[in-house]
Amino acid sequence: MQRQGFTRTAVLIHWILAVSILFLFLSSWWMMGLPLPSPDLQFRALPFQLHKNIGLTLAIFLLTLLYVRLKYRPAPPGDRKTGSQVHLLAVVTHVLIYLSVFALCVTGYLASAHTRWDTVFWWMIRFPRIAAPNEELNELWSDLHIYSSWLLLGLVAVHVTGAIYHSCRKDGVVRRMICW
């Protein structure tokens, strides 16, 4: 028999991802307005390292969430009156959110890998260099990182709109992810 809601692990990871992703958006908009780095100006060092660390951690969380969701699939919500087009929109949005978060993690890491800055995961584990510094590739991956981020932001807006829609209908869909 399928469980009715998502597992507690899936719920916990979902909300950690939500807060972390929004934090990465807000903090990155701010940190890109900090002075460019030089030996005397190190304003960007901590925010960039933190951004990379949280981003890499998100990739681990995302894979865990995907595993948990596929292994413990919840039963469909009790109310099946939602139109098939709305259901299709929800499925497409969810798939695109997973893909765009994963794309953000990968493009962010690859952009960083082509700079002269090393990645030290949570200031403990120094990642081996996978590429030499390369301005062109850094720009390419950075551009893809930014495009993915705009895509994700739009998808988050659709996702939140869906949550409000289901909440107003009181069809039990939202409660599947708020079961504490």
Partner 1 sequence: MIAPRSATASVPGWASILGVVVVVLGVFLTAAHATEWLKQSVLSANVPPSGIMPDADCPPAELEEEGISEAECEYLVDHVRGLMLASPDWFPAAMGTLAIMGTILAFVSVIVGGALVNHTPWASVAAIGVLGGLVLIDILQFGTVALAGPILRDAYLGNFFLWFLLHLMLVTGVFAGRQYDQKGSGESGPP
Please say whether the beta carbons of 58 and 21 come within 8 A. Answer: yes
Strand-pair category, 120-121 with 125-126: antiparallel
84 in contact with partner 1 (CB under 8 A): no
- Shortest Å distance, C-beta 139 to partner 1: 6
Please say whether the beta carbons of 97 and 58 come within 8 A. Answer: no
Please say whether the beta carbons of 134 and 88 come within 8 A. Answer: no
Candidates 60, 67, 73, 78; binder of partner 1 (CB under 8 A) is 78
At 74, list the tokens: 């919840």
**Helix, strand, coil share (%) of the chain residues, nearest 5:** 65, 5, 30
Return the number of the residue (32 or 86) whose C-beta is nearest partner 1.
32
154 in contact with partner 1 (CB under 8 A): no
C-alpha to C-alpha distance for 57 and 100, rounded to whole angstroms = 15
- Shortest Å distance, C-beta 144 to partner 1: 14
Return the number of the residue (109 or 141) whose C-beta is nearest partner 1.
141
- Shortest Å distance, C-beta 129 to partner 1: 19
Where on the chain is the footprint of partner 1 (CB under 8 A)? 3-5, 15, 18-19, 22-23, 25-27, 30, 32-38, 40-43, 46-47, 50, 74, 78-79, 135, 138-139, 142, 160, 163-164, 167-168, 170-172, 174-176, 178-180
